[in-house]
Amino acid sequence: MLVLGLIALHMAGFAQVKSDLFVANSLNKCCRLRLAANTKLTPNIFLSPLWLSTNWRKSNMHVVQRDTPPTPDEIIELARDYLGTPYAWGGVDENGLDCSGLVNKVYAENGYDLPRTACEQFLIGEPTPVTELVAGDLVFFNPSPNAKSITHVGIYVGNGEMIHASSGKGEVTYDRLDLMYYRKRFAGARRILSLSPGIYSSPEGNAADADEQNASSLDALVSSALADDDALAANLSQDDSASQSRPRQLAQFQPPANAMHTGPVTLRKANTSFGLRLGTARLDDSAGILAVVESSYFGHDDALAIQLAAPFEAPFAGERRAHTDAGNTWDEPIDYSKIIQEIRYGQPGSDLYFELGRTTSGTLGNGASMHNFTPNLKSRMLPDYTLLPDALSLAFDADFSNFGVQSFVDDLMKARVLGASVFFRPFIIADSSSFLRTARLSAAYVVDIKAPYHSAQTFNPTTVSENNVLHALSVEAEISPINADRFWLSTYLSVASLSFLQKTGYGSSVGLLIRSALEEHGFHAVRLRGELSLSGASYIPSYFDAAYELDRKSIPRYEKDSYAISKLYLLDHFQANSPRQGIYLDAGYQVQRRFGLGVAYQDYGSFTVNDSHYASRNLFVYLDLRNLYLPASSKTLSLYFAYYRRGFVSLTPFLSKGSNSEYLFAAFSLQFSRYFSLGGAARRNLNGVSDTDFFDAVLDVTARYEL
């Protein structure tokens, strides 16, 4: 009944599109009156040096001179060039674009000086019925159904699709006009290409009076670099809803150029939909058929995303898979948590972010205690098909300008590792220099309430002690002496401790972070980090790292005949006559949000326990390709690859059973039609204790109906 109701609502909303088409003609009468009173411009002003020095446009957003209108294909081809560009509140260039900024940029490079905001752009061009839309037309939307204002604009590309800068998705992307969200908010369309290239805005970014629009055309002066003007700087940060400020959960773009997660990820579309996924899989040493009933919700206004999935498995061939019966029961609350794949509010890097998911990683501050901690790294199950109660991790970040909090829980249903961090900026409210305003002090606390303690002689399910409590506490001071648009440099100092079994160990680290856009337009970005550490005998830097769930019961060792020990046992038994030195390095490269490549290496020295040798040397490499649009279409390809090698002395052998401890995850997704997608994933985990090679793989097809 719910499905039938949603379909009926979908059809009813589509029937209203035509009747709502010209509603927006009367929405902006006040805007028209204001224009008539304030934009009486003369042709001479357009060509005067005064206009060139006070126009709202930046020098990198100048209007290209053109005598004839472009073709629709030229508009669409240029709009496609900006796919994946991050959404930035008030953004007007390649570093970040908002919805009207994208329209402005595309049309400016084709000879049109359009107004700044969507409301003003709605006053330009020829009103066009929805049944007569052609590529290049502008489509406009209200902030809510039946609202009386224009707050969003996109570029129609044909086949019922538009390219627009989506604040909720955080990037320039494709969306369909018949999605329920946009159907209910559709306000009208305008055809700009029916006008000759020229100036259609005032120096302040408003719509020029209709009688004046064709009085001037662009010349070489207009095509030249336009000077910035502090008096009009507010126009550049003006959002399309005018009086509203940027929501805290929507990010103001800063190129991170690093991986958000260090374990497996899921490749899914951000839309409201329901569907069925069918796949064939190899899990452990068995094979069979899997089915997942899926449902998802995505909020375009607030970036609230909910992914639910009910997985089922057919009888498997081959060896019976371990814990299959337990995985299929629904007797306890933890079993019902299997239907939650992800609940997310906001965007990574925003002032407010919440994530409850199965592929979440946690970092507190600069990571002195918890760095890329990934509970599901050890899981032998693929996250798309959660048949066992894998960890449902919780991450929360909030930044309130002068202070903020971070928290992470490894499993909401049966938490064992919990962490929290509080930071504040002591000089942000003072009348101080920008250098001091970047200073940040923070304190982080992490606890493992059931840290296992064992060596090989005691390791079995009945004798392992898991009632030990381990505490990690760190204090950090950070400052950014350089904090420019294209180059950001930060340095930090951390002091931390580990307390366990009536012992306490101490350590310290100093690090440098560099983030930079490699070119003026910001398409390419890099992130570099280097850290040196000094540790006492009973301290390991970033103790809760990506491999902690693997190491807590069995850390890798050099010799094959060495016995396995837990990480807590190692910490309790190794001895050192002098402080140990360590190093952490990572480098990331990113092209917008489409392509990411990164590598991280850490070496905190070696440890000797009872004449057996253990290394704290890890390597992580990732490749992330998201929403690679196929030529001249909205079809997308996404790829993800992650490789983790822990506790190694030598990187050879590579991907063989002779390797000590390796982890490999790969996934792909191809959206080859509106309703169907093809996907696959593979996971390899070589256990450092028994050298057992676990390999899971799945290939699936998803049928999805978008609301």
In sequence order, the β-bridge partners of residue 445 are 420, 473
- The whole-angstrom separation of Cα 688 and Cα 520 is 47
Hey, what's the torsion of the CAs at 118, 119, 121, 125, to 10 degrees?
A: 130
Distance CA 408, CA 356 (A): 10
Residue 456, pLDDT above cutoff 70: no
Cα–Cα distance between 372 and 397 in angstroms, integer? 15
Residue burial 144-161, b: 16+ Cβ < 10 Å; e: rest: eeeeebbbbbbbbbeeeb
- What is the arithmetic mean of pLDDT over 614-629? 88
DSSP 405-436: EEEEES-SSS--EEEEEEEE-TTTTSS--HHH
Report the pLDDT value the prediction gives residue 214, as an integer from 0 to 100: 43
Residue carrying structure tokens 């948590």: 337
Q: Is 241 exposed, middle or buried (0-12, 13-18, 19+ CB in 10 A)?
A: middle
**Six-digit token pair at 156?**
């129609």
Task: Name the residue with tokens 């809803």.
Answer: 241
The pair of structure tokens assigned to 40 is 């009486």
pLDDT value for 26:
33
Q: Answer whether residue 124 shows pLDDT above 90.
A: yes
Who has greater pLDDT, 507 or 350?
507
Closest CA to 471 of 450, 442, 500, 509: 500
Q: Could you give the CA distance from residue 250 to residue 259 in angstroms, rounded to a whole number?
A: 19
Q: Give the pLDDT confidence score for residue 472 in this predicted structure.
A: 97
Confidence of residue 551 (pLDDT cuts 50, 70, 90): confident
Q: Is the pTM of this model over 0.75?
A: yes
- Cα–Cα distance measured from residue 501 to residue 523, given in angstroms and rounded to the nearest whole number: 51
What is the structure's pLDDT at 619?
92
Those residues with Cβ within 8 angstroms of residue 429's Cβ, 6 or more apart along the chain or in another chain:
402
Binned at pLDDT 50, 70 and 90, residue 88 comes out as confident
Residue 386 CA, chain-centre distance (Å), reads 22
Q: Are 381 and 283 in contact (CB under 8 A)?
A: yes
Q: Are 447 and 469 in contact (CB under 8 A)?
A: yes
Q: What's the pLDDT tens digit per position in 306-349?
A: 999 888 877 666 665 544 444 456 666 666 777 888 999 998 87
pLDDT digits (tens, 9 = 90+) for 338-372: 788 899 999 887 889 999 998 889 999 999 999 99
Q: Which of 26, 41, 23 is nearest to 206 (CA)?
A: 41
State whether residue 266 is helix, strand or coil.
Answer: coil
Say if strands 96-97 and 92-93 run parallel, antiparallel, or are unpaired.
antiparallel
Looking at the annotation, which residues are catalytic?
Answer: 99, 152, 164
